[in-house]
Structure 1
Amino acid sequence: MPSNVEIKAALRDLRYLTQRAKELSGTDGTVIRQQDTFFKVPAGRLKLRDFQDGTGQLIFYERPDTEGPKLSNYSITPTNDPQGLVKVLTDALGQVGQVKKERRLYMVGQTRVHVDSVEGLGDFMELEVVMKEHQSREEGVAIANQLMLELGVKEEDLIDGAYMDLLLKNQQNGHAP
């Protein structure tokens, strides 16, 4: 199963981080609009990512819900009928909820730097160090930590869990999404 080392952080300064990501990647990044629908499963997480253009991906992943760099194992398959698949999976499994976001993707070496504007939550940064077959978890963590420094991400800004978790927590606390 493919894996990556991930970190996620709330953004204090969207403009600064975006500028640093542009400098480090040498590009203006790629804008991707996504709607993720999460389904009830006994272990891990299952989501259907709809790219809002008639295509999508069904993604299963497992990772610990802890702050800082963490190893994530995942499986992905493409679909040309994301809305139909959402309906079938909702009927079969039930939904946990949905996350809508606009993502700007920058590639820095083997790392996907995501600058996300999440509906109902705000702005975040996510790093995904896409692990090569021969790399250890420790090597991935070292790459993530170095990139955090280069992007000016502070340890106190790191978050655990997924955007879906944050949205559910807000709903439980009486905050509208």
Structure 2
Amino acid sequence: MLEVEVKYRARLSEVREALRGLGFSLLSSTEEVDIYFQHPCRDFSASDEALRVRVSGGVASVTYKGPRTGSEAKTRLEITASSGVEVVEVFKKLGFAPVATVRKRREYYRRGDILVSLDEVEGLGEFVEIEKAVADVGEVEGAVREVRKLASALGLKEEVRETYLELFLKIFKSGS
């Protein structure tokens, strides 16, 4: 499955109200911890890939994110598998090294096939992610237009092209 995603910096209280006004319903609110791993023989930052374990509500899932394609929105292959919390230890035993841990408080909103996440990310601030899954590359352009139209309706202006991991590592490396 391809994921088309656009991220913005925003005031979540304002976006929350706008979403309700546009007919979005709150699906859930949860705290998530994302642990990103580096392979011992492969530099995922150089290949623009990511390997993540997300722990939410005591349940862990493993996600592989392939290299980004296109330039209008972050579009990439995403494969997620759920497993027990012990999956982190399995990865460590296989020689993978944790790169970063990103903690966030997330609210999910849905209307039709569009999912909106309001994120308070520890050390990074507040963000809105708007995403729509598509079955093939031919659907990406239309999905990007739909996502950007909603972002405009929500008053979102400050688009963020970096992933949370990239933002986190940029701050960590700069010593801020």
TM above 0.5: yes
Taking only the aligned residue pairs, the percentage that are identical comes to 24
Deviation at 1:32, TM superposition (A): 1.9
CA distance in 2, matches of 1:50, 1:65: 27
Deviation at 1:134, TM superposition (A): 8.7
Query: Aligned residue pairs: how many?
Result: 168
Residue aligning to 1:169: 170
Of the three residues 17, 20, 23, the one matched with 1:19 is 17
Residue aligning to 1:3: 2
Question: Aligned letter for 1:17?
Answer: V
Residue aligning to 1:49: 54
Judged with a 3 Å threshold, the aligned counterparts in structure 2 of structure 1 residues 173 and 65 are, in CA distance, closer, same or farther, namely: farther
CA distance in 2, matches of 1:9, 1:63: 20
Residue aligning to 2:32: 34
Pairwise CA RMSD of aligned residues? 2.1
| 1:88-117 deviation line (CA, Å, top 9, x unaligned) | 213421111100101000012211100000
* 1:130 to 2:133 alignment: yes
CA distance in 2, matches of 1:5, 1:153: 17
Deviation at 1:54, TM superposition (A): 2.4
CA distance in 2, matches of 1:168, 1:133: 31
CA distance in 2, matches of 1:115, 1:140: 19
CA distance in 1, matches of 2:117, 2:131: 8
TM-score by length of 1: 0.86
Question: Aligned letter for 1:87?
Answer: E
More strand by percentage: 2
Residue aligning to 1:121: 124
CA distance in 2, matches of 1:123, 1:9: 9
Q: For structure 2, list consecutive stretches of 5 or more residues without a partner in the other structure.
A: none
Residue aligning to 1:87: 89
TM-score by length of 2: 0.86
CA distance in 2, matches of 1:135, 1:32: 33
* 1:70 to 2:74 alignment: yes
Q: For structure 1, list consecutive stretches of 5 or more residues without a partner in the other structure.
A: none
Judged with a 3 Å threshold, the aligned counterparts in structure 2 of structure 1 residues 137 and 73 are, in CA distance, closer, same or farther, namely: same
Deviation at 1:20, TM superposition (A): 1.1
Structure 1's consecutive aligned runs of 4 or more residues displaced over 6 angstroms after TM superposition are: none
